[in-house]
Structure 1
Amino acid sequence: MQRSGRRGGVLLLLLFYSSVCAAAAAAAKSKHLLLACGSAKGGVDEEAGRKWKPDAKYLGSGDKGAAATAEIQDPSLPSVIPYMSARIFKAKGSYKFPTQVSASANRTLLRLYFYPSTYPGVDISKSYFDVSVGSVTLLKNFSAYLTAEALTQVYIMKEYFLTPVPNMELTFKPSDDSNDSFAFVNAIELIASPDIFGIGNIFMAGFLDQTLSVADKQLETMYRINVGGQYILPTNDSGGLMRNWYDDSPFLYAGTGGVTGGGFRKVDYQDMPTYVAPADVYSSYRSMGPNSDLNTKYNLTWAFRVDLNYAYLMRFHWCDTMMNITRPNEVVFTMFLNNRTADEKIDPVAIANNRLGVPVIRDYVVNVKDRGGNDDDDPARDLLWIALHPSSEASSYYADAYLSGIEIFKISNAAKTLSAPNPAMSAMMRKYRLEEDQQVRYANSDAFNTAVIGGATGGAAAFGLAAALCLVAYNRKKRVPGGDTTSWLPVYGNSRGASTRSHSGTTISSDAASNCRYFSLAEIKQATKNFDESNVIGVGGFGKVYKGVIDGGEVKVAIKRSNPSSEQGVHEFQTEVEMLSKLRHRHLVSLIGFCEEDNEMALVYDYMGRGTLREHLYTNKGGSGNKSSSSDLCWKQRLELCIGAARGLHYLHTGAKYTIIHRDVKTTNILLDEKWVAKVSDFGLSKTGPDMNKGHVSTVVKGSFGYLDPEYFRRQQLTEKSDVYSFGVVLFEVLCSRPALNPSLPKEQVSLADWALSCYRKGTLEEIVDPQIKPEIKAESLKKFSETAVKCLSDHGTDRPSMGDVLWNLEFALQQQQDNPNSGGDNKRNKPKASPSNPNEGEEEAVIDQHSLMAMHRNTLSLGSDDGFEASAFSQTSGTGR
C-alpha cells in the first residue's frame, strides 16, 4: 500500500471507497455466529434481542471442557444470556469454526466475553490461561479475575479484527498444569467483517511520507470513542458490526474539555462506506470553543491507558456538520500524538475535497515504548496522548480544532502476539479497597462482636450498626471477586459495566402520556412558524430550542426539537416525558406536552423569560468568564435563586415516589422565570433509584466536566450525593462569577472547585469572591454559605450533606444576610421584581429564626404549584430569548 503524497494520498482514498462498498454489503448479509458457551439451549439476550446458540457442536480437539453456571448474578450484568453460563477447560481445548463463518469477508471480528464470577468446584482467582487463534497469541497468562479487579468491571469483553483463515481454530489452554488452574469463556461472537483498515493511507505519525499496511496484522480494539457525543448502542452501529461507541468525557485531560455540539448539517457518506462509523459519530463533535485568543493558549487533550511495547493504529473521524464551517482553511489544526507532532495541518474540509457534510478519516501508527525505570506507580507511564492545537502556520479563519471520533487498535508484533501482562489496580483503587477491607475486618472483629452482644439498653443501636457493617461485608462478597459492580473507566479492551437497553424508537408509557398534552406536528410547526431560525433560542445535545406560542398565541412556550440523527435525542425525549409528566413542583421545569410524529420529536415547556442562572452571573465567551454588567445580581438575590434550585433538587431526592438523581446539575440547567423563580431543568440524563437500599445506581458516567462528582467518575456508582457535589460547584460559581472550568487561567485555577477549596483552606476565599458583591456580603452569611459549598465538595459522598441540609444552611445564610439592614436587595443595583426565596404564594419574607427555617424545610416537599415552569435554555453554549 505504498502511495505517495501527504494530502493527495488521503484525497485518493475517496477513489477506493467504491471498491469496498460490495464488501460492506456482504458483511451485512453474512452470518453472525453467537455462542453462549456452556449453555445447553442458548437463548435470546435481553440487551439487544439477539439469539445465542449452544457451543457444543463447535468444540474441537482436546479437552471438551465442562459446562458451568455462575453462582452469583451481578445486578449490573446486561443479560442472563450469555453471561451466566460458561465453558471451563481444565486442559487444552479448542473451538473450530467453518469456512463460511471465519473466511467469508476480509476480516473476522472476534469477541470473547469473560464473567469472572464464582463457579462450582473451581477458584476463579486461580484461573490463568492462554488464548490463541492458529499461530497468533491473543492472551497469555490471562486472569479475568485480576483484570476485573484492576478495571473494576463486572465482565470483560475482548475484541479482535483477525485475518480470516479456513476452519479457524480458537484454542484455550490453562497456563500451568496444576489441577487448580483452568481456562474459561462465557461467550464467543464471530462476525464476517469488511476490511475497515484498507480504505486509505495509514501514516507513520510524524512521518507523513511513510505509509504502512496492516493487511497481514492482527488487531485488538482498545478504545472506540464518540467524541463530544453520547454512548452509542451496538444495535445502532453501522454495517451490522455491533460495536460500542463510548463518550469521551472520562479521557479528557484536566480542564481542557472545550465545548461540545451537535451538527445540524446532514451527514452525507457519498463514497465513504457507512460501516466505517455510524452517522451519530459524525453528528457530534468536541471543539476548543469560540474564543480564538483562548484557543491559542491550550491544547484539546485526551489520554488513554494502553499496553507498553506495542504499535497502535489510531483512527480519527471528522465531519463538518457544524453550520459555521463551509469551506477549506476555515479551521486548520495540528495533531500531537504522544507529545510528538503527527500532522501539522489538518483541514477536514479540504481532505473531503471541499464536499460539505462528508465524513473523513485519518489513520496513524504510533509506537508506545517502555521508558524504563522501576516506577510502576507512575500514572503517566503507559498513557497514549492525543492533543489538538490551532495551526500556527495555516492562517486559518478560525483558531480552533475539533474532532468527532477516535478509535485505537493494538497491532500484533513480530512474535504474532497481542498479549500483555494483567493490569494492576491503580493506587487510587488500592486505597479505596484498603479502606473497604478495614470496614470488613472491623465488622468481623471480636471487639465488634462484643459490642453487638452488649446490654439490652443498647441493643437497637448495636443491631443497626451491625446491620450496616455486615451489609458492607456482604456487598463485598456479593460482587465479582476483586471488582466493583462497575468501573470508573468506561472502556479498556471494551470491558463494560452497566446495562444499556436498545431502543429502535421511543416507548412512552400510557401513564406518562395521560399526564401531559400531545401536540400534532402541525401544531408544533404553527407554534414555531415552521421552525423558523429566527425563533431559535438555544442549541444543545438534544437539538435546537425554539420560542413559540400555542393556544391562539396566548401562551408562550419553549419547544425542544430533536436532532433526527441523534441517538441522544431518543433517550432524552423518553426520559424527560417519563420523568416530568409525573413531577409538579414550583422549582422544577414544567412539561406541557410532547410531539412524536413523522420521525420528529419535540418537547413543549413553559417559556422561561429570564434565561439561565449563568447568564446573570457572567457572559460565558469561550469560557473566559467575562461579566455582563447589565445582568448583575446582588448577594441576596443570588442566595434566593440558590435556595430555589436547592428546593427543586431536594424534592427530586426525597419527595418523589422514587429517588431521582438529576446527574447534570449546573448553572445552565437552572432557569429563571419572569418572576425570578429558579427552576431545575433538563432531565435527559436523570436516573431513578427504585431500590436505593444499596445506596447507589450503577451506570455509565455522564454529566458535565467541571461539575462531575469525582467519586462517581471513579466508581460509576451514582448516588444523590453526586448532585450535591455538582450543586457545590454551582454555589461557588454563584459566589465567584466565573465558569466551573477556565483553561485560560494558571493550571491550579482551571477548575473552580479545586481553586475554591484551596483558597478556603488557605483562608483566602474572599480574594476570589465576585468584587461586584463583595462589599455587601455580611461575614456571617459568607461563612455559612462557603462552609456549605465546601462540604458539598467533599471527596466522599458519605461526607457530603443531604440536599435538605444544604437547603437549610442556605436559608440560614439568607437569614444572616437579612439581619444586616444595609445588605442585600436594598442597594441601587438591579434587583428582581419578585423574590424567589419563598415558594409559598403570600408567605411573609420577614427575618426567619432557626426554628421556622426547620419548619420550612419540613414543608418543602409539599410545595407543589400550578405556576408556569421553565423551558428556554437547554444548551451549554447558548442562552435563551427574553
Structure 2
Amino acid sequence: MATIITQIFIVILSLFLFNLRLSAAIDGRGYKPSDSILLNCGSSSDEADADGRKWIGDSSPKISAAGITFGNSTPSQAAFQDPSLPSSIPYMTAAVFQSEATYKFHVSKDERHLIRLHFYPASYNGLNAEDGFFGVTASGGLTLLHNFSAYITAQALTQGYIVREFSLPPAEEGFITLTFKPDAKHPAAFAFVNGIEVISMPEIFTDASTMVGFADSSLSVGSSALQTMYRLNVGGNYIAPSNDTGLSRTWYDDTPYITGAGVGVTAAAGPRVKIRYPPDIPSYIAPVDVYRTARQMGPDPKVNIQYNLSWSFQIDANFTYVVRLHFCEIQLSKVNQRVFDVFINNQTAQKDVDIIAMTSSMAVPVYKDYAIFISDGPNEDDDDDELLVELHPSVDAKPEYYDAILNGMEIFKLSDAGGNLAGPNPNPSEMLEDDLQTMREFKSEPRGKFNVIGGAAGGAAAAAGIVFALVLAVYQRKKRAIAGEPGSSGWLPLYGNSHTTESKSTISGKSCASSHLSTMAACLCRHFSIAEIKQATKNFEESLVIGVGGFGKVYKGNIDGGTTKVAIKRSNPDSQQGVHEFQTEIEMLSKLRHKHLVSLIGYCEEDNEMCLVYDYMAYGTLREHLYKTNKPALPWKQRLEISIGAARGLHYLHTGAKYTIIHRDVKTTNILLDEKWVAKVSDFGLSKTGPTMNQSHVSTVVKGSFGYLDPEYFRRQQLTDKSDVYSFGVVLFEILCARPALNPSLPKEQVSLADWALHNQRKGTLAEIIDPVIKGNIYSECLKKFAETAEKCVSDHGIDRPSMGDVLWNLEFALQLQESFENGGASARGSIGDVSELSAGGEAVDGGHRGQKRDEDDEANDQSDGVNDMAVFSQLVNPKGR
C-alpha cells in the first residue's frame, strides 16, 4: 500500500514539475530586446514619460556610453504644449537641423530593429512649423520619409503629434544610421525630430504571406524594410507601450475605422478562459489582451448574412501591403461552428476560415498574413487610396452559426524595389487652397492691422501658421463628416483610450438585449450583475456617494478585483422616471468612443435596479472648480484647455459620428475632468440624433437645463446642432465669469448669465464681470477672441451661430495667443488687470467697479440649483442635482 502511495506521489510530482517547466518555457518566449534605446532629442537630461519608460537626452553624458553619435543639431524647446500630447517626454524638446545631420546607433548585427520617430510640429527657436520639410534615410539606402511635413500631416489627420514606426532588416555593419536632411526645394526648410526609439526585435515575418488575387502565390518579407501603418486591438482596449510584450508597441481601438452599416458587437473571454499560445506562436506576436477580446457580427444570423464586418483604411498607392489578422476563438470549441470568408479590397483573401480547425482548440491564438499590391486609383487626382478589410459568414460551409470574429489587425507597408517607404504629404483640395490664399492675403496686411502677437518677431507669420493649421483641421473634419466616415482616418486614431465592452455569448442562445435596449446597444456594453454592482459600491454605501442627480445617486466604486475605479450611477429604485434616459445613455455611448467623451463601461438592469458604470473622473465636474468650492481656482490657461477639450467632444458628436448627435444638455456639470484634467463631455440621457440631409431641424419636445436652453429651440421646439452651440456659449461665459448660468438673487437684468454677459460685451464692460482670480492673467487679444466666440455662440438665431468646428478653431487660436503672451511674445500691457480693463475693441481703458464678487454668486447658487430642479434630468455628477 505504501509503495502504491509513493508511486502516485512520484507521478503527481512529475506532472507538477512538467507543468512548471512548460509554464516557464511559455513565459520564456516573451521577448527581451538586446537593444532598447529611447532618445529624447534636444534634451540634456534623462527623464521618464507618462508610461514610466526612461528616455536619455541626446546631450546627456550617457549618450556616448549608449553607442550613439550625431552632429549639427540645435537643441530646442517647443513654444507651447498641445493638450493632446500624451506626455511632455519626448515631445517638448527637439533636435533641429538646418543642414544634413546623421544619428549613428551601434546595435546588434543579427536582429531586425524597430525604429520609431516622434514628431511634434511646433515652433522651435522662432522657426515656423510650416517650414519643416525634410527627408529621413536609413542605413542601406532606405528612404523612410521624403519631403515630409509633420505640420501638414498632423493637421490633416487632426493629430497634435505624429509617430512613424519602421522595421529595418538586420544591420550587417553593426550600426544603424538615420540621416535628416532639410528639403532643398523649400526655402527656409529645416528638419527636426523629438524622439527616436531603436529597439531590437525578433523576426516576426517567418511565414510567407498569401498573395490576394493570385491563386497559390505567396510573398516573403525577407530583407524588406516595413512601415507600420495601423495596429489595432479589435473590439478591445487601447494597449499602451508599457503593456506590450517587450516591443513597446501601441495597439489602438478599431472603432474609428469600422465602415458600413453594421459595427458588430464586442466580446471578451470569460475569467475562466486562459489564452494558451501554441508552440509555433511566441507571446511577443501580440499581447494576450489582444486575443482576449474580439469583434463579432451579432446574434441574428438573418442580419449577419446580409452584411460584411468591414474596416476601411487610407494608405499610399503603389506599394505592397501585408495585412496581418489575429484570431482567437474565445467562445466556441468545435469545428464548423463559426466559418467565414476574408476579403481585402473586394478580392477573396481566404475562404472558409475556421479558427478551431486551424488551432484544434478554443483560446489558442493564430494569425494569418495576406499581401496585396495597391495601385493608383481610377482618378489620377486621388491623393491616397483605400484598403478595405471585410469578413462575411461562409454560406458554402453551412456552419452552425453565421458569424465572423476578429481579435486584432496590423497593416504593414513594404519598401519598393528602390528601398523607398516614403509616401506623399496630404494635399489640400481646391476648396482649402482658396482658404489658404485668403490666409496669405491676411498675412500680407500691414502690421498694425494684426497685432495679436505683440512685438514678437515673426508674429504675423506665426499667427498665419496657426490659422492655416486650424483651417486645415476644420476642413478635414468637415470633409470626413460629409463623406460619412465613422471617425478620423489616417495613421493614428482620433482618440487613444476606450474601454473594452463585454457581452454575453451571442452563440449560446442567450439574448444580449435587456428589456429596454436594442440588441446591438446591449451587446456593445458590458453587462454587470447586481451582485457585482453591490460589491463595487459596498452595497451602495452612502459614504461612497459622489453626486446626486435627477436620475439618482452616483457612487464611487471599484470593479475587476479593485483594479479599476469607476463611477456608478444608480436610478432611484422607487421611480421609473429614468427608464428612457437609461436607454438613451446606453444607446448613444455604446457606439461612441472619443478622448473627450466620458466612456460608458457597462450597465446593470436586474432586480428592478438600473445602473450605469462609467470611467471614474478624478476631478469631478468643471463647475465645482469654478465657484461654490473650496478647491483652488483654475488658472486661465487651464480653463482654455478644458474649453477646447469639451469643444472637441461636441464637435465629434456633431460631425465625427455616423449621424449628427445633438447633446441637448451641455453645461458645466456635464463636463467632467479626469486625473490629467482632460475634459470629457458626459450625460447623454437627453441626446437626440440630428436631422438628415433633407431636414434642417428635428421637431421635439423641449428638454434641457434652464439657463443653457437655446431660446430658438424653446420658442419653436425645433432642435439643431446650433442648440448645443448656444449652451456651450453659456459655458464659455461661465468659465470666464465664474458665476452660475442663472442667479435669481441678482437684479433682474443680471439673473441670466448669457444676457448679462452679452450686455457687457456689447457695452465694452465685459472685463468688469470677469472672475477676479484670473483677471490679471488674461492677454487682451486672447480675451477678445474668447469673448467674441462666446458672443456669437449665444446669438438669438441659430443661423447666426458658428458651428462647433468654428468654435473649436477660435478657442485653439485664443490658446495660441495666450501662450504667445505668456512666453513673452506680447507686451505686459496686454494683460487684463484690476485697473486697466478691456474695452470692446480690445484696448486698455480705466476700469470702474470690480464686478460681482465670487462669494455673492456662491450664496445665490443654491437658489440657482432650485431653478434647475424644475426640470428633472440625469447627469453623472452634480452635488445638488438639477
Coarse TM-score class (shorter-chain normalised):
0.5 to 0.7
Q: In the alignment, which residue of structure 2 is the partner of 1:293? A: 302
In structure 1, C-alpha distance between the alignment counterparts of 2:380 and 2:512, rounded to whole Å: 61
- Cα drift, residue 81 of structure 1: 2.6
Three-state SS of the structure 1 residue aligned to 2:343 is strand
- Cα drift, residue 413 of structure 1: 0.5
Q: In the alignment, which residue of structure 2 is the partner of 1:791? A: 720
Q: Compare 106-115 and 218-227 and name the one that shifted more.
A: 106-115
- Equivalent residue runs for 1:644-663 within 5 Å: 663=598
- Equivalent residue runs for 1:688-707 within 5 Å: 691-694=638-641, 696=643, 698=645
- Equivalent residue runs for 1:403-418 within 5 Å: 403-418=406-421
- Cα drift, residue 260 of structure 1: 1.7
Q: Does 1:116 align with 2:128?
A: no
Cα displacement string for residues 8-37 of structure 1 (whole angstroms, at most 9, x for unaligned residues): xxxxxxxxxx9xx89985841523111112
In structure 2, C-alpha distance between the alignment counterparts of 1:560 and 1:726, rounded to whole Å: 24
Three-state SS of the structure 2 residue aligned to 1:96 is strand
Q: In the alignment, which residue of structure 1 is the partner of 2:50? A: 46
| Contact 1:117/1:481 (8 A) holds in 2 | no
Q: Does 1:368 align with 2:346?
A: no
In structure 2, runs of 5+ residues without a counterpart are: 1-21, 453-458, 481-486, 500-509, 590-594, 623-633, 672-679, 701-711, 733-740, 742-860, 877-882
Quick one: which of 540, 543, 546 aligns to 1:582? 546
Three-state SS of the structure 1 residue aligned to 2:528 is strand
- Cα drift, residue 534 of structure 1: 14
Three-state SS of the structure 2 residue aligned to 1:370 is coil
- Cα drift, residue 305 of structure 1: 0.5
Three-state SS of the structure 2 residue aligned to 1:582 is strand
Q: Does 1:126 align with 2:131?
A: yes
- Equivalent residue runs for 1:493-532 within 5 Å: 495=492
In structure 2, C-alpha distance between the alignment counterparts of 1:73 and 1:548, rounded to whole Å: 45
Q: Does 1:330 align with 2:321?
A: no
User: Given the superposition, is the C-alpha separation of residues 285 and 372 from structure 1 closer, same or farther in structure 2, using an over 3 Å criterion?
Assistant: same
Cα displacement string for residues 713-733 of structure 1 (whole angstroms, at most 9, x for unaligned residues): 999xx9985989999997687
In structure 2, C-alpha distance between the alignment counterparts of 1:803 and 1:61, rounded to whole Å: 52
Quick one: which of 684, 687, 692 aligns to 1:757? 692
Cα displacement string for residues 58-89 of structure 1 (whole angstroms, at most 9, x for unaligned residues): 89899532222222232332333322222222
- Cα drift, residue 281 of structure 1: 1.3
Quick one: which of 213, 219, 230 aligns to 2:220? 213
| Contact 1:114/1:157 (8 A) holds in 2 | yes
Quick one: which of 100, 123, 144 aligns to 1:138? 144
Q: Does 1:229 align with 2:236?
A: yes
Q: In the alignment, which residue of structure 1 is the partner of 2:781? A: none
In structure 1, C-alpha distance between the alignment counterparts of 2:344 and 2:639, rounded to whole Å: 43
In structure 2, C-alpha distance between the alignment counterparts of 1:685 and 1:388, rounded to whole Å: 37
- Cα drift, residue 599 of structure 1: 6.5
In structure 2, C-alpha distance between the alignment counterparts of 1:784 and 1:291, rounded to whole Å: 39
In structure 2, C-alpha distance between the alignment counterparts of 1:158 and 1:534, rounded to whole Å: 43
User: Given the superposition, is the C-alpha separation of residues 709 and 485 from structure 1 closer, same or farther in structure 2, using an over 3 Å criterion?
Assistant: closer
Q: Compare 421-430 and 289-298 and name the one that shifted more.
A: 421-430
- Cα drift, residue 127 of structure 1: 2.6
- Cα drift, residue 299 of structure 1: 1.1
Q: In the alignment, which residue of structure 1 is the partner of 2:161? A: 155
In structure 2, C-alpha distance between the alignment counterparts of 1:154 and 1:492, rounded to whole Å: 14
- Cα drift, residue 44 of structure 1: 2.3
Q: Does 1:277 align with 2:209?
A: no
In structure 1, C-alpha distance between the alignment counterparts of 2:240 and 2:542, rounded to whole Å: 21
User: Given the superposition, is the C-alpha separation of residues 61 and 662 from structure 1 closer, same or farther in structure 2, using an over 3 Å criterion?
Assistant: closer
- Cα drift, residue 119 of structure 1: 1.4
- Cα drift, residue 139 of structure 1: 1.0
In structure 2, C-alpha distance between the alignment counterparts of 1:869 and 1:89, rounded to whole Å: 51
User: Given the superposition, is the C-alpha separation of residues 72 and 241 from structure 1 closer, same or farther in structure 2, using an over 3 Å criterion?
Assistant: same
Q: In the alignment, which residue of structure 1 is the partner of 2:655? A: 710
Three-state SS of the structure 1 residue aligned to 2:529 is strand
In structure 2, C-alpha distance between the alignment counterparts of 1:227 and 1:97, rounded to whole Å: 35
User: Given the superposition, is the C-alpha separation of residues 99 and 423 from structure 1 closer, same or farther in structure 2, using an over 3 Å criterion?
Assistant: same
User: Given the superposition, is the C-alpha separation of residues 602 and 682 from structure 1 closer, same or farther in structure 2, using an over 3 Å criterion?
Assistant: closer
Quick one: which of 187, 192, 207 aligns to 2:200? 192
Three-state SS of the structure 1 residue aligned to 2:548 is coil
Q: Does 1:258 align with 2:267?
A: no
Q: In the alignment, which residue of structure 2 is the partner of 1:86? A: 94
Q: In the alignment, which residue of structure 2 is the partner of 1:249? A: 255
Q: In the alignment, which residue of structure 1 is the partner of 2:34? A: 30
Q: In the alignment, which residue of structure 1 is the partner of 2:614? A: 682
Quick one: which of 235, 247, 268 aligns to 2:276? 268
| Contact 1:108/1:161 (8 A) holds in 2 | yes
| Contact 1:47/1:78 (8 A) holds in 2 | no
Q: Does 1:385 align with 2:388?
A: yes
Quick one: which of 384, 399, 404 aligns to 2:402? 399
User: Given the superposition, is the C-alpha separation of residues 356 and 382 from structure 1 closer, same or farther in structure 2, using an over 3 Å criterion?
Assistant: same
Cα displacement string for residues 419-440 of structure 1 (whole angstroms, at most 9, x for unaligned residues): 1111224789889989999999
| Contact 2:256/2:489 (8 A) holds in 1 | no
Q: Which amino acid aligns with 2:183?
A: S
Q: Which amino acid aligns with 1:548?
A: A
Cα displacement string for residues 642-692 of structure 1 (whole angstroms, at most 9, x for unaligned residues): 99989xx9xxxxxxxxxx9763589x86979959xx886534689865744
User: Given the superposition, is the C-alpha separation of residues 789 and 365 from structure 1 closer, same or farther in structure 2, using an over 3 Å criterion?
Assistant: farther
Quick one: which of 348, 354, 359 aligns to 2:355? 348
Q: Does 1:77 align with 2:85?
A: yes
- Cα drift, residue 547 of structure 1: 2.7
Cα displacement string for residues 382-441 of structure 1 (whole angstroms, at most 9, x for unaligned residues): 111111111121101111112111110100011111011112247898899899999999
Cα displacement string for residues 317-336 of structure 1 (whole angstroms, at most 9, x for unaligned residues): 11112x3x221211111111
Larger relative contact order (Cα-Cα within 8 Å, sequence gap ≥ 6):
1
Three-state SS of the structure 2 residue aligned to 1:46 is coil
Three-state SS of the structure 1 residue aligned to 2:421 is coil
User: Given the superposition, is the C-alpha separation of residues 427 and 698 from structure 1 closer, same or farther in structure 2, using an over 3 Å criterion?
Assistant: farther
In structure 2, C-alpha distance between the alignment counterparts of 1:860 and 1:146, rounded to whole Å: 50
Q: Does 1:317 align with 2:300?
A: no
| Contact 1:559/1:603 (8 A) holds in 2 | no
| Contact 2:211/2:371 (8 A) holds in 1 | yes
In structure 1, C-alpha distance between the alignment counterparts of 2:544 and 2:870, rounded to whole Å: 13
Query: What is the CA RMSD across the aligned residues, in angstroms?
Result: 5.9
Q: Which amino acid aligns with 2:340?
A: F
In structure 2, C-alpha distance between the alignment counterparts of 1:578 and 1:442, rounded to whole Å: 63
Q: Compare 277-286 and 310-319 and name the one that shifted more.
A: 277-286
In structure 2, C-alpha distance between the alignment counterparts of 1:372 and 1:305, rounded to whole Å: 15
Q: Which amino acid aligns with 1:545?
A: F
Q: Which amino acid aligns with 1:289?
A: G
In structure 1, runs of 5+ residues without a counterpart are: 1-17, 453-469, 504-532, 550-556, 562-575, 617-637, 650-659, 734-751, 770-782, 809-854, 871-882
- Cα drift, residue 358 of structure 1: 0.8
Q: Which amino acid aligns with 1:584?
A: V
TM-score, normalization by structure 2: 0.60
In structure 2, C-alpha distance between the alignment counterparts of 1:726 and 1:76, rounded to whole Å: 16
User: Given the superposition, is the C-alpha separation of residues 150 and 493 from structure 1 closer, same or farther in structure 2, using an over 3 Å criterion?
Assistant: closer
User: Given the superposition, is the C-alpha separation of residues 141 and 43 from structure 1 closer, same or farther in structure 2, using an over 3 Å criterion?
Assistant: same
Q: Compare 63-72 and 293-302 and name the one that shifted more.
A: 63-72
Q: How many residues align?
A: 643
Three-state SS of the structure 2 residue aligned to 1:583 is strand
Three-state SS of the structure 2 residue aligned to 1:410 is strand
Q: Which amino acid aligns with 1:682?
A: Y
Q: Which amino acid aligns with 2:137?
A: S
| Contact 2:158/2:488 (8 A) holds in 1 | no
Three-state SS of the structure 1 residue aligned to 2:56 is strand
- Cα drift, residue 138 of structure 1: 0.8
User: Given the superposition, is the C-alpha separation of residues 419 and 587 from structure 1 closer, same or farther in structure 2, using an over 3 Å criterion?
Assistant: same
Three-state SS of the structure 1 residue aligned to 2:143 is strand
Q: Compare 486-495 and 45-54 and name the one that shifted more.
A: 486-495
- Equivalent residue runs for 1:1-40 within 5 Å: 27-40=31-44
- Percent identity among equivalent residues? 30
